[in-house]
Amino acid sequence: MLLQEVLQVSRSWLIAHDDEALSVEHVQAYRALEERRLAGEPMAYILGRREFMGHEFHVSPAVLIPRPETELLVEKAVSLIREKPTARVLDLGTGSGAIAVSIALACPEARVVATDYSAEALDVARGNAQALGARLEFYQGSWYEALPEGKVFDLIVSNPPYIPLGDPHLTQGDLRFEPAVALSDGNDGLDAYRQIVSGAGRRLEPGGSLYMEHGLGQETAVCALLTAAGFRAVHSLPDLAGILRVSGGHF
């Protein structure tokens, strides 16, 4: 992948030309990228892109690298929007825009709004929406505070920061390079769910839905928050690895 990037060629070209001599400049450029990777920097940041839902998203260290398991939340949203194609949809904490832009592309009649606390992340999301030809609105601020008063939705989705403070994963692998605000709530991993669930009632149409991605083993706590807030038919959905990854219900 690094050599493809340096030479700007396809993987099949690389395989078919494995005896081709490299210029000194190309070798130097390759070594520079290799050094970054050997220092642990994620491929997505080195290459500046990551595929999600079949689309290529630009990513920078200002945003979380979209994860394959998050496609489950998008698929759930798209299946709900099929029942009401003009649905008003809110993605809280959009990061690169992976969820919101994918929904907008899959459901062109839906009116999709995306927010983030980070202005830098919103710039990345706006760029992705433009590059991929998706139409959506963006607002900056903390959860619902970002939104104009009175704006309501048929569906709210979110993949908020859910890693508890002090979790050893935060100091390992790709996570070392990702924005802290995208990974952890600085508390027990449930703060964002408390805020998103407790504020949802004022922002959902009656019968509207809220679905959120969460970490391994958080489904019981997230479902309890939803039930206590008055959500009906609260349930969790497994990802492709069989891990309960998304929980939600109807208001």
Ligand X SMILES: C[S@@+](CC[C@H](N)C(=O)[O-])C[C@H]1O[C@@H](n2cnc3c(N)ncnc32)[C@H](O)[C@@H]1O
CB of 239 to ligand X, least distance (A): 13
Q: Which 28-87 residues touch ligand X, going by CB under 6 A? A: 63-64, 66, 70
Residue partners of 99: CB distance under 8 A and separation at least 6: 70, 73, 74, 77, 91, 114, 157, 159
Amino acid at residue number 93: G
Q: How far is the CB of 101 from ligand X (least distance, A)?
A: 10
Q: Name the one residue in this structure whose structure tokens are 């939104």.
A: 147
Q: Which residue number, 6 or 143, has a Cβ lying nearer to ligand X? A: 143
- Tell me the three-class secondary structure of 196-210, residue by residue: HHHHHHHHEEEEEEE
> Site for ligand X (CB under 6 A): which residue of 87, 182, 190, 204?
182
Do 238 and 246 meet the contact criterion of CB atoms below 8 Å apart?
no
Q: Should residue 95 be labelled a site residue for ligand X when binding is judged by CB under 6 A?
A: yes
One residue of 94, 102, 184, 247 binding ligand X per CB under 6 A? 94
Minimum CB distance to ligand X, residue 15 (Å): 31
Structure tokens at 60: 């920078």
109, two tokens? 């009649």
Q: Residue 160 and residue 247: Cα distance in Å, rounded? A: 12
Cβ proximity to ligand X, 70 vs 209, nearer residue: 70
| Residue 181 binds ligand X (CB under 6 A) | yes
Q: Please, how many CA atoms are within 13 Å of residue 192, restricted to the half-sphere of its CB?
A: 27
Minimum distance of ligand X from residue 121's CB (angstroms): 5
Which residue type occupies 140? Answer: Q
Positions 137 through 176 that interact with ligand X (CB under 6 A): 142-143, 159-161
Specify the residue, 2 or 169, whose C-beta has the smaller distance to ligand X.
169
Number of residues that bind ligand X (CB under 6 A): 23
Copy the structure tokens of residue 96. 């690169």
The residue ranges that bind ligand X (CB under 6 A) are 63-64, 66, 70, 92-96, 98-99, 115-118, 121, 142-143, 159-161, 181-182
